[in-house]
Amino acid sequence: MKVQIYTLQSVDEAKKVASLGVDLVGVTPANIGLPGEITLEMGKDICASLTGTTTVAISVSNNISEIIDMVLFVKPDILHLCGDPGSISVNDIEKIKEKLLDTGIEIMFAISVDSEEAIQNAINFSDMSDYLILDTSTTDVEGIGASGKIHDWNISRSIVQNVKTPVILAGGLSIENVQEAIAKVKPWGVDSLTHTNKLMDDGSFVKDFKKVEEFVKKSKEII
């Protein structure tokens, strides 16, 4: 079971979670008020600092030029596209992949699991994506994800059964429910942001390394 952890905000923090067995380290290079966002420069430093761990950079934009500029600067292994539902088309992904053809950067596309329509949506985007991430939308945060809430795992399981693309399950996963989620959905990987955070007095957060370590352990020990 692969484990993806969002969102890392320093080189030291990213290296620490990687040392705990995290397979994919997610960063949020932006300046629009996303949770845990960092500068493009910090995103680039984090991605350059990790060896043997896959790096992922998120974008909620639907502007192809803006997306390309970010990803070519930050240079992650994977570009995570999670704009609002419907803001990115299959043709848009095709254009992005053409621009990134010589870089080796892969595409992870976010599917908002809010109804059974998500199944067909995932099928439509699966061939053009290297990974799908199934997440829970919220009106509080731009894009798909960062809600801290679970969705209908029955729908997620149907998606896994109907696509060949590796699927990462996200949305409200925690130490308490990740094994149940894996057993139910049988994804390729699982993702955590909200429930592996430690909240600070000013409202910001850092990663809770004990929670990350336990999340990794629980995710990888289930068959």
> Is 113 in contact with 135 (CB distance < 8 Å)?
yes
> Is 210 in contact with 203 (CB distance < 8 Å)?
no
Scan for tokens 């950079």, then name that residue.
57
Give the model's pLDDT for residue 114. 86
In angstroms, the CA 74 to CA 27 distance is 10
User: pLDDT (tens digit, 9 = 90+) per residue, 40-52?
Assistant: 999 999 999 999 9
Per-residue pLDDT band for 199 (boundaries 50, 70, 90) equals confident
Structure tokens at 99: 């621009």
- What is the average pLDDT value for the chain, to the nearest integer? 92
Instruction: Give 9's Cβ-side CA count (13 Å radius).
Output: 13
2-221: in CATH 3.20.20.70: yes
User: pLDDT (tens digit, 9 = 90+) per residue, 60-106?
Assistant: 999 999 999 999 999 999 999 987 777 799 999 999 999 999 999 99
Report whether pLDDT(36) > 60.
Answer: yes
Structure tokens at 68: 């390309």
Scan for tokens 């994800």, then name that residue.
145
User: pLDDT (tens digit, 9 = 90+) per residue, 94-125?
Assistant: 999 999 999 999 999 999 998 899 999 999 99
| 205 three-state secondary structure | strand
| 98-101, Cβ contacts within 8 angstroms, sequence gap of 24 or more | 99/64, 99/68, 100/68, 100/71, 100/72
Residues in contact with 108: Cβ distance below 8 Å, sequence separation at least 6, in sequence order: 56, 78, 79, 80, 81, 129, 130, 131, 132, 133, 168
User: pLDDT (tens digit, 9 = 90+) per residue, 132-148?
Assistant: 999 877 655 555 656 66
Give the model's pLDDT for residue 177. 96
Query: Could you state, in order of their start, the residue ranges of all structural domains in the chain?
Result: 2-221
Instruction: Please give the share of the chain, as a percent, with pLDDT higher than 70.
Output: 94
54-59 and 205-207: which strand pairing?
unpaired
Give the model's pLDDT for residue 192. 96
Report whether pLDDT(221) > 80.
Answer: yes
Alpha carbon of residue 12 to chain centroid: 20
Strands of 52-157 (E only): list them: 54-59, 78-81, 106-112, 131-135
Report whether pLDDT(176) > 70.
Answer: yes
Give the model's pLDDT for residue 85. 73
Give the model's pLDDT for residue 145. 57
